[in-house]
Amino acid sequence: MPDFLPGAIQIVHEDRDILVVDKPPGLLTAGVPGDDADSVFREVKIHIRNKVKRRGTQTWIIHRLDKEASGLLVFAKTEKAFESLKEQFRAKRAQRIYVAVVEGEVGKPSLANAAASVHPTSPTSGTIQSFLIEPDEGIVRSIPRPSGPRAEGEPDAKHAVTHYRVAVAAFGRSMMHVRLETGRKNQIRVHMKDLGHPIVGDRRYGAVSDPLERLCLHATELGFSHPTTGESLRFRSQIPASFFKLVGRKPTDAPIPPIDAAPIATPAPRDRRAERTERRPEREEQEDRRVRPEKGESSVSWDHVAEWYSGLIEDRGSDHHERVIIPGTIRLLDVRPGLRVLDVACGQGLLARRLSAAGARVVGVDSSPKLIAAAKAGVAGGDGVFLVADARSLANADLGMEKFDAGCCVMALMNMDPVSSVVAGIAARLVPYGVFVAVMLHPAFRSPGQTSWGWEMPPGNERQPARPGRGRAGGGSARSREPSAAKQYRRIDGYLSSGQREIVMNPGAVAKGAKPITTVTYHRPIEHYVRACAGAGLLVSAIEEWASQRASEPGPRAAEENRARREIPMFIAIKAVRVPKPG
């Protein structure tokens, strides 16, 4: 017999560390501090205090559900459990799946999108992503991307990603499974409105019907690792029977297929891609950039950036590409004559031509017509085929070859979102045991805005080093007479929290009054890329970390700069193999 707390709150699971409950609609997860209003948190605290029979017993909130929604919540009963669960939610290792009934039959011509980037391959499944502005009070707003500096007092625009899949569409409504990749306030409600299909009963976000006198949103699955034992736990709450009635089904009908825990690979939101840089004057991390402007930017701006990037790599060259990236990629791909290679986000075709020179049969794809034109212009003797194609919808694209022996995505994957769509598309084009290689700036040590070089001064000499010079790893000019005993280190201000950052691609021109050309780069910890590979049926077989091969100009600090540069990797390479499904 299920246990219930006051307010029809069902206890789903309880042990010494955690408490999982099923919340009814119409009840707050938690009130504001100092408010003794009815809430799940209030009843949970009373329950735990009465059970332990000890004053000062604490309980911790991990996540929340809207008052109008129902479903699963987990609370921590110990500080250790709290820290573990918060970290799992922050790092997106926890799984949250919802069921929503929305207005309209999704997939009909009424599918619309005014604020988010929704381009599903199938109209009945996809991904919605936008930036949400969460005011202290009022309705959450969705915008395609932040534009211009934030006004004083205006809340940050936070990146939000929602995956969905329609299960039943009938009687003018659709029941769908929804999986959160980020957990923002009212995220599902706002994104369903963006999709053109607000949740039934959600008049706050555009619904015109309320047959059940409640918001038709239910948190049906919750998964995480137990904070003490490490055991994988997955809890399920029955979908309300009333939801089925809205779409003409019975709960006893054939089960509705849920969204898999792995990311859905059908969407094709905007591709924002640029090779990363940090906000520092060092050329070492500023040279290798590619940019994709947002929709609505002028073609003049894109022409300028595409030509600039092409000239940067081809004419002036990049020693990172020549000495580190290209040789390492060719080695991991195990290139041999006749090998069929798909080069995703190939840019102007530098790597593709090197692969062709080694005997491979290469198809290079990029969503930029300008860069593909530059790639074709650089082809001699028919080396390689270059096509305009979206990296997130490769599974069914016409690439001239049905299957490939290998695929690669070099210095671009960190600037595409959702990354799962890119990896899944590449995996779909690989033969069994085909190889995939991804190379990117190291997420731990080179994340834009979250990492920087610093110097630890020897005792008795606290004077700061001179400004970095050209080609230096980060400290003093060649003429510096600072003591050589100083130690250089890499400061890491953040890693596990995923996020995005706008990068200004033309800072020199902006300093002279030009309009900034910006793109968004996405930070993800390494585990996200491994998870994307696993979800696409790829087995990670190697991870390599590559350091810069540059050397500092002679000077008192050159030896320490060179040591730090060799110790702190600049790039990471992931190699994975497509494992065929049994049978």
Tokens of 358: 């080694």
Nearest to 396 by CA among 358, 424, 368, 434: 424
Sign of CA dihedral 415, 511, 279, 437: positive
Strands (E), 18-108: 18-23, 60-61, 70-76, 95-103
Task: Tell whether omega for the bond before 255 is within 30 degrees of 0, i.e. cis.
Answer: no
Record the tokens describing residue 221, joined without a space.
């699955």
Query: How many Cβ atoms are within 10 Å of 411's Cβ, its own excluded?
Result: 26
Sequence-ordered alpha helix ranges (H) in 53-178: 79-90
The whole-angstrom separation of Cα 481 and Cα 226 is 55
Longest Cα–Cα distance of the chain, Å, equals 82
Q: What is the DSSP string of 246-300?
A: HTT--TTSSPPPPPPSSPP--------------SSS-GGGTS-----PPTTS-HH
* Cα–Cα distance measured from residue 355 to residue 335, given in angstroms and rounded to the nearest whole number: 7
- Pairwise CA distance, residues 12 & 237, whole Å: 9
577 closest CA partner among 544, 530, 539: 539
Say which amino acid occupies 419: V
Spot the catalytic one: 17, 35, 66, 405: 66
Answer for the pair 79, 60: CB distance below 8 angstroms, yes or no. yes
- For residue 562, CA distances in Å to 28, 431, 466, 486, 556 come to 57, 42, 17, 13, 11
Dist. CA 6–CA 453, nearest whole Å: 55
Sorted by sequence, the CB contacts under 8 Å of residue 145 that are 6+ apart come out as 131, 157, 294, 520
Q: Which long-range contacts (CB under 8 A, 24 or more apart) does 47-51 make?
A: 47/5, 47/11, 47/19, 48/19, 48/77
Task: Name the token pair of 309.
Answer: 């990037």
d(CA 290, CA 539): 29
Residues 205, 184, 34, 69: what is their CA dihedral angle, to the nearest 10 degrees?
A: 50
Interatomic CA distance for residues 485 and 482, integer angstroms: 9
CB burial of 18-34 (b: ≥16 within 10 Å; e: otherwise) equals: bbbbbbbbebbbbeeee
66 is catalytic: yes
C-alpha to C-alpha distance for 287 and 268, rounded to whole angstroms: 28
Q: Which two tokens stand for residue 510?
A: 């902006």
Q: Give the residue numbers annotated as catalytic, written as ranges.
A: 66
